[in-house]
Amino acid sequence: MSFSSKLRTLGLGLVLLIAAWLLVIDPVKAQDQAQIELGARLFAENCAVCHGETGEGRVGATLDKDWPSIRPDLRLRSTIVNGISGTPMVPWGQATGGPLSDQEIDALVAYILTWESGGTRIIGPTPTFAPRPVITSIPNVDGDPNQGAQLFDQNCTVCHGPDGQGRIGAALAKNFSSIRPDLAVKSTISNGIAGSPMPAWSQAKGGPLTEQEINHLTAYVLSLAENPVVFEQPAQPDTSLQPSWLRGWGGILLAVLLFGLIVGFALWIQTRDKASPPDS
């Protein structure tokens, strides 16, 4: 075989090798991209409420950073699957009681690590929520439950479910056993519960919500109860139809006079019966 023939054969082999490599690598890239897009959607739906839209941190840790680990993917995966005991980071893996499959967790890990590599940032679609029916305000409870419903969708449904039925957080659609459940609910939202998945949401405690927003949330959570408690003020006697002179000493004197008349009438009946001759 001549040198030129060998050269052509070698060139053809290189072309075929490159074509084969492209056939293998392009589907892998497409698969990786699809996984990252899935992770972006899952992050927006489940993680952004605590960690921020781009991992900047909110009531949860900052994720937009370099991960000091030989295998950051394994470290991230373990944290998502198992959570961190005593913190707001709960287990998300189905094997540990959470809602996410292994495939979904792998997608989340791949997406979060794109921030470390400095790649093109993908922001998942913001979750949309169906309009809720108008909610009647609870008397003597500060806050508008209708505004509270919007805040609940934006901040609470991820953990507590869209109707407060519970997901990875406690069920809220219940009657709270407290003399003043409004104060108990507000305190829990504001301050969180130490050593539990419930973080503090009040701005005074480092959270994102104002006091008025927490009032709205409190009103909405109380409206989820099967039999919402109505906080009634002590009933005041209706004196609008009473003559003014009956509201003071006049009323007391009238009561004494009536009592005397009743006693006198009873004594007269008794005296008359004694004076009457017996029947023959």
Per-residue pLDDT of the chain (280 residues; tens, 9 = 90+): 554 554 455 544 444 444 444 443 344 455 588 999 999 999 999 999 999 998 999 999 999 888 888 899 999 999 999 999 999 999 999 999 999 999 999 999 999 999 876 666 777 777 888 888 999 988 888 999 999 999 999 999 999 999 899 999 999 998 888 889 999 999 999 999 999 999 999 999 999 999 999 999 999 999 998 555 444 444 444 444 445 545 555 667 667 677 677 767 667 677 766 666 655 5
Of 93, 128, 163, the residue that ends a domain is 128
Of 78, 98, 128, the residue that ends a domain is 128
What was the pLDDT predicted at 193? 94
Give the range of the structural domain holding residue 206, as residue numbers without chain letter: 145-223
- Domain assignment of residue 8, yes or no: no
What was the pLDDT predicted at 30? 58
- Domain assignment of residue 42, yes or no: yes
Of 101, 128, 155, the residue that ends a domain is 128
Q: Which of 133, 110, 132, 134 is nearest to 122 (CA)?
A: 110
Which amino acid is present at 32?
D
What was the pLDDT predicted at 249? 59
Q: 153 with 124, same domain?
A: no
- Domain assignment of residue 12, yes or no: no
Q: 123 with 35, same domain?
A: yes
pTM of the model: 0.67
What was the pLDDT predicted at 228? 52
Q: 202 with 121, same domain?
A: no
What was the pLDDT predicted at 276? 62
Packing angle of the helix pair 211-223, 181-191 (nearest 10 deg): 130
Residue showing tokens 């840790």: 61
- Domain assignment of residue 176, yes or no: yes
The CATH number that applies at residue 49 is: 1.10.760.10
Residues with Cβ within 8 Å of 24's Cβ and at least 6 positions away in sequence, in order, are none
- Domain assignment of residue 254, yes or no: no
What was the pLDDT predicted at 273? 63
- Domain assignment of residue 3, yes or no: no
* Number of separate domains in the chain: 2
- Domain assignment of residue 252, yes or no: no
- Core vs surface per residue 203-214: b (16+ CB within 10 A) or e: eeeebebeeebb
- Domain assignment of residue 279, yes or no: no
The span from the CA of 209 to the CA of 229, in Å, is: 25
